[in-house]
Structure 1
Amino acid sequence: TDNDDANDGSDDTAEEDSDEASGKKKNRDDFEDDSEDSEDGSGDEEHDLTPEELENLRQAVIRKAYHELVSKRKGIRGISVLNILFKRSFLEENRLHFPEELTYFSDVPFLMEALEKTEKFQKCYAALYVKRKHNDPVNFPSLSQVRDPNRFDEFIRVYYCTIQKLAKDSELRYRFDKKYISYYTKTFAPKIKRSSNDAWRQEHFIQMSDIVRGMSPELIHEQKRYKKRIIKALMKKDIEKSLRIVKVHLGYKKLKKIFRSKKAFSKFLYIHSFLKKPLKEDWIIFESFFGKSYSDSPKYIYEYLAKNYPDKYRFIWVINKKTEIPYKHKEIKRFSLAYYYYLARCKYLVFNGRQPVWVIKREGNIFLQTWHGTPLKKLVFDIDDINSATPKYKQQVYKQSREWDYLIAPNAFSSETFRRCFMFDKTMLETGYPRNDILHAPDRKQIAVQIKRKLGISGDKKIILYAPTWRDDEFYAKGQYKFELHLNLDMMRQELGNEYVLLLRTHYFIADSIDVSHLKGFAYNVSKYDDISELYLISDILITDYSSVFFDYANLKRPMLFFTYDLEKYRDVLRGFYFDIEKEVPGPLVYTSEEVIDAIKNIEEISKQYSQRYDEFYHRFCEWEDGHASEKVVKSVFGIEDKE
């Protein structure tokens, strides 16, 4: 955006977090050790070096420190004292202080002057202090997240403030100037073409030109190709030539990206072609769990519409696998070219999760967000610390939720919570969940028989459904999740196999993580079974932990067990709960496989023990559910009162 500071995209190398200390020692692994501090005498080898070799070693250490603390840092704002410890006497002797007139970049001149005045460094791999990242860019933004139109003026001021503290021909000055060159070519120059703010083509352009004209000719000369051309045009203050160079450069980059990536090509067409076509007033696109299944509330809203109004709408389903979907519809895959096309043209969007961040809501679009559960675990702006694999979680959800017109609440608790945690101020549909209509269907017993037959489960066996949630800290990298099963299924088969079978239903993030092939006939991995509501219907007992499934299952008034082997960690560290799980859930908390088995053997006694709590829970969380939520939602969103 026009208010971005001079940081994004201006790093010379990849960013890497580390803990460094400046002002006392050097470590041989990264910088250097003082020989007098080496107890084992390993520093004696330095006495064998000639003065020239010692000087070369000293210079190498300094270059390494400058690289780590300046060149390797992301952008100008990355030149920060964060993760650096300074010796107090060093700061006092050199009278180092932060310039109080600077708001966003005060670390820069402080650190650059400190580096100029020391040659002793030590890198520390251990965490000595821990900085918590609350990361709420909407309500409590950090300085780096504040959008301030005056930030660029300070970015210019900090340059002049810093170079006053550096020798003109020093390596530090060279590295510092190089970061401003990098900023101009990667971040500033594209704004010349893209920004609607003329300041980037007028006064800001002149300010950057004045800075670059004062840099060493050697630094300018070593720039290559595009960088050299755009910097020379800047030095001449030739905005027209700069604009031509930038247009050609960006056009070439875009073409290259389009030809190399199907997604980039599809997104190009989405923006430059599909969005320019008129909206189709009778087109509805449905997506459940990112196209992974035909399920949840979008399924039941679709089936109600398709059954009652078959010729009124055209239905598009986002589904990534071969799936049997009733009624007339069109199937497309997520992120296919068709996905971009129909997202641009459908008037109605019905999702149960967040839409892609690049989706542009058009005038006339109606976005129905069904969401996918009553929350036990804290959500979005109710979470203090983000431990998930997506650090920009809050920022993204805020942007996405601004585009929702309707949000479905299954109960009063969820209605209040959703308004707060999503900062949602549009229409809340207090109807109950369409996905729970099947739990109140008059023919639910007949449906259950069909589902058992479909899964190949014997009619004389009782069914246990185990549906654990995914833990926020269980991931390998962004978008790559893992899961470890703590329930001893072998022990359960031995103790319960004559009377029960077990259905294992994990979070859709980790559906492929569990292999139960060695427990054939007892355990079934139904994680990829599309509709968990159908699994509720056939289950006699539910075992879960912190998943929202127990709110829905309570509609059936059947017994539940809560296998909470990591309760303290999950409650106090990872996510936090909205209410006291130990006092309010309608079943016992169990912590070991042995306790789970014992509870199942005594399930009738446990049901009697928790009957009052179950009634209170049902009254609080299930009272809105009556089997007609789909009908209520359709009438509210699509403006349909009577069948045609």
Structure 2
Amino acid sequence: MGHSSSLLRDALAGAHLKSELESEEFWGKSLGKNAKAHGVRLQYVKDYESVPLNKDVIFYETMSGARMGDNPYGIFEYLREHPEHGDFLHVWSVDTRAQVPPEYKDAPNVVFVRRNTRSYTYFLASAGYVICNANLPAFYIRRDGQKYLNTWHGVPYKSLGRNTPKARFGSPNGNSTFTKATHILTPGQFTSEKIVSAYSMKGVSNATIAEIGYPRVDRTLNADDERKARIRETLGLEPDEEAASRHHPTVLYAPTWRSENDKDVVDTEQLLDDLRAMTGPGIQLLYRGHHRMDRVIKDASVGDQLDDIIIPPHEISSNDLLAVVDVLITDFSSIFFDFLPTGKPIIHYLYDLDSYASTRGINLGEEELPGTVAKTRTELVEAINSVASDLNKHEPGHDYASDPLQGDRYASGREQFCPHDDGHASKRAVEFLLDDSQEGVCSRHLLDTLPTAVFWAAQLPSGPRAANFLESLLKSAASPAEQTVLVVERRAPLDKDFVKQIKAFGDDISTYSYDAEPPVIRPEEEVTYNKFATQYYMDFAATRARLARSSALKRIFAREYRRRLDDAKFDRVFLAADLTNEELALAYFAAKGLVTTANRWQAPSIQGTQELMPAGRAVEFALPHGSRRRKFVARTYRSLRKRLKGGSA
């Protein structure tokens, strides 16, 4: 890659590229097969510790580098069009399959870095700003002073993280990526609450959430007549005025993906038969599958089998498509939330509602969906004909945004799910990230004044001491005087009944799961690390003393703690028995104050706690023992003791 801008030259100063060969390897040589490869992780640590932070660089990643798009792209476009916010080098992460749009190949302030190359680790470590719509690699460690904005990629219609039916403790990748974020944007309260719960942010994350709308929706709402005409021409659609005069609405079918046993699947026969049923003489039908469906059946191959549908090229983003669509048909995809602000008709085709809800989990019942619900192919065809007829009753140019065709429930849905999508979300997002501006924005800080207690379980081998640890955990969760956090390896062999009881407490226990993997050790650190890791009979006091004596050892585990939990700190830390030396060292960095074993847990004293508690929790603390909450906790605790110890309650 040849780039010549002064911004790029300045940004590359810390890479110390001394030859053309080094430069070629910097941009193009893979450090490993994937983000878990040792070469990738080690190079990132080296860059993290040695490369200066550059406030003139913004690093973007969408869907693990699959494409330029989504909310980060909306922010990128806005910054490019509004230079008053600053002169930035825009660095885009791309994987080996991603296509670089030709208009940006020679742009002097836009560069592309292939994942798992040195250029990728270098810019991820050195960028002053990181913007991502999904999960960053697990090796990512946020630098002091580095701002990281997570935009996520949709309103959570489907269950996420710990709230999916089969989840034990949730998603390690999701937990990690949101905990490291300094800034999170959402379209509204519904999304904020779902992701806070799904990714166990209560008591852990220091991020600020701003409910400002989705930048990607700006592209749909702000599309001018020229852009719409260009899209329609590319797709081979009738010009807008001609389609309106002939009453030929443009209909987009955009289903989401399905999976069986963690493998993506597509019922090809169902899909093709549904598309055949949707086609009609008065319809201009478009089809776009979810990008995960494309791995199983490509959109183009669907078009090869059906002559009457239009397959949009992937260069046209979904939000550009929505700008020319009159009717959206989808299923459990959050694309319908992006379409809601237009006020145009939505049909939810939920032919497998019961099975999907039980296996994947959904957050909305059919009665809550704005638009029309169809559960059979016959109902689907009837719904298409009905909304097409209703559209034809209105004059071309009717303002559906102000007067939705599908009535009050549609309008209520828009207010509930995307109240801030007004075409100006990108501007608010930029001001939120660059200036920490929350003016006129509904924002929330995830750390309230409630004290936090973390139970450091790690892999928690089963046995009596593990049972005692979990009993203390549940007693802490029952106390309204503190927010309880469980730090646990996602494969820890916890009894199913314990897991069920932990889940019953909901967000009163933030289950922070992670994947067990050894910390990245630089070659000069290996002797120090190995000597510590193999030392016998280490308890917390001995571990703390060793860290105090060795700056090298302290640096290793401070770095690893930040990789796992960023800057999270807890008022009290309760340790499981038989923790490894490494876990004891990490727990050292978690503590604001008390560190002790879990069997010594006691409820925080009332004195001084009520001043710290929000009013609602302080009142709850004073509830009599006969309250519903106290009865539930007492019953749970007695059942637990009886089952584990074989005694009587």
Q: TM-score range by the shorter chain?
A: 0.5 to 0.7
Residue 587 (structure 1) aligns with: 371
Note the 1:47-196 alignment, pairs <5 A.
Answer: none
Contact 1:474-1:483 within 8 A present in 2 as well: no
1:562 is the counterpart of 2:348:
yes
Q: Which amino acid aligns with 1:420?
A: S
Q: CA shift at 1:502, angstroms?
A: 2.4
Worse-matched range after superposition: 314-323 or 458-467: 458-467
Note the alpha carbon deviations across 1:559-611, whole angstroms, 9 max, x for none. 1111111100111x21322232x211122222333332222122156789842
> Matches of 2:64 and 2:33 in 1, distance apart?
24
1:366 is the counterpart of 2:153:
no
Q: CA shift at 1:260, angstroms?
A: 9.3
Name the CA shift for 1:583/1:555 in 2 (closer, same or farther; >3 Å): same
Note the alpha carbon deviations across 1:468-502, whole angstroms, 9 max, x for none. 112243643xxxx3322465546755773433232
Structure 2 unmatched runs, 5+: 1-29, 392-403, 438-649
> Matches of 2:278 and 2:34 in 1, distance apart?
54
> Matches of 2:32 and 2:159 in 1, distance apart?
42
Residue 484 (structure 1) aligns with: 267
Contact 2:47-2:125 within 8 A present in 1 as well: no
TM-score by length of 2: 0.53
Name the CA shift for 1:543/1:261 in 2 (closer, same or farther; >3 Å): closer
Residue 330 (structure 2) aligns with: 544
DSSP-derived class of the 1:268 partner: helix
Name the CA shift for 1:562/1:322 in 2 (closer, same or farther; >3 Å): same
Q: Which amino acid aligns with 2:375?
A: Y
DSSP-derived class of the 2:180 partner: coil
1:639 is the counterpart of 2:422:
no
Equivalent residue for 1:449, pick from 229, 233, 240: 229
Over alpha carbons, which structure has the higher Rg? 1
Note the alpha carbon deviations across 1:347-375, whole angstroms, 9 max, x for none. 21100001111111121211100001111
Contact 1:561-1:587 within 8 A present in 2 as well: yes
Q: CA shift at 1:542, angstroms?
A: 0.7
> Matches of 2:194 and 2:269 in 1, distance apart?
31
Residue 398 (structure 1) aligns with: 175
Residue 285 (structure 1) aligns with: 59
> Matches of 2:311 and 2:266 in 1, distance apart?
14
Name the CA shift for 1:598/1:473 in 2 (closer, same or farther; >3 Å): same
Higher-strand-fraction structure: 2
Name the CA shift for 1:488/1:369 in 2 (closer, same or farther; >3 Å): closer
Superposed CA RMSD in Å reads 2.9
Q: CA shift at 1:429, angstroms?
A: 1.2
Q: CA shift at 1:399, angstroms?
A: 2.3
DSSP-derived class of the 1:516 partner: helix
Equivalent residue for 2:88, pick from 300, 303, 313: 313
> Matches of 1:589 and 1:370 in 2, distance apart?
29
Contact 1:439-1:555 within 8 A present in 2 as well: no
Contact 1:409-1:432 within 8 A present in 2 as well: yes
Name the CA shift for 1:286/1:497 in 2 (closer, same or farther; >3 Å): same
Q: Which amino acid aligns with 1:625?
A: D
Q: CA shift at 1:528, angstroms?
A: 3.4
Q: Which amino acid aligns with 1:278?
A: P
Q: CA shift at 1:259, angstroms?
A: 9.0
Residue 466 (structure 1) aligns with: 253
1:574 is the counterpart of 2:359:
yes
Equivalent residue for 1:516, pick from 289, 302, 320: 302
Give the number of equivalent residue pairs: 374
Residue 152 (structure 1) aligns with: none
Q: CA shift at 1:466, angstroms?
A: 1.2
Contact 1:294-1:530 within 8 A present in 2 as well: no
Contact 1:492-1:597 within 8 A present in 2 as well: no
Residue 75 (structure 2) aligns with: 301
Q: CA shift at 1:325, angstroms?
A: 4.9
Residue 378 (structure 1) aligns with: 159
DSSP-derived class of the 2:258 partner: coil
Q: Which amino acid aligns with 2:333?
A: S
Percent identical across equivalent pairs? 27
Name the CA shift for 1:309/1:484 in 2 (closer, same or farther; >3 Å): same
Residue 11 (structure 2) aligns with: none
Contact 1:294-1:531 within 8 A present in 2 as well: no
Equivalent residue for 1:505, pick from 285, 288, 306: 288
Residue 630 (structure 1) aligns with: 426
> Matches of 2:44 and 2:378 in 1, distance apart?
55
Q: CA shift at 1:419, angstroms?
A: 2.3
Q: CA shift at 1:258, angstroms?
A: 7.3
Q: CA shift at 1:324, angstroms?
A: 3.6
TM-score by length of 1: 0.54
> Matches of 1:640 and 1:524 in 2, distance apart?
43
> Matches of 1:484 and 1:526 in 2, distance apart?
21
Name the CA shift for 1:455/1:333 in 2 (closer, same or farther; >3 Å): farther
Note the 1:406-421 alignment, pairs <5 A.
Answer: 406-421=183-198
> Matches of 2:269 and 2:145 in 1, distance apart?
49
Residue 618 (structure 1) aligns with: 414
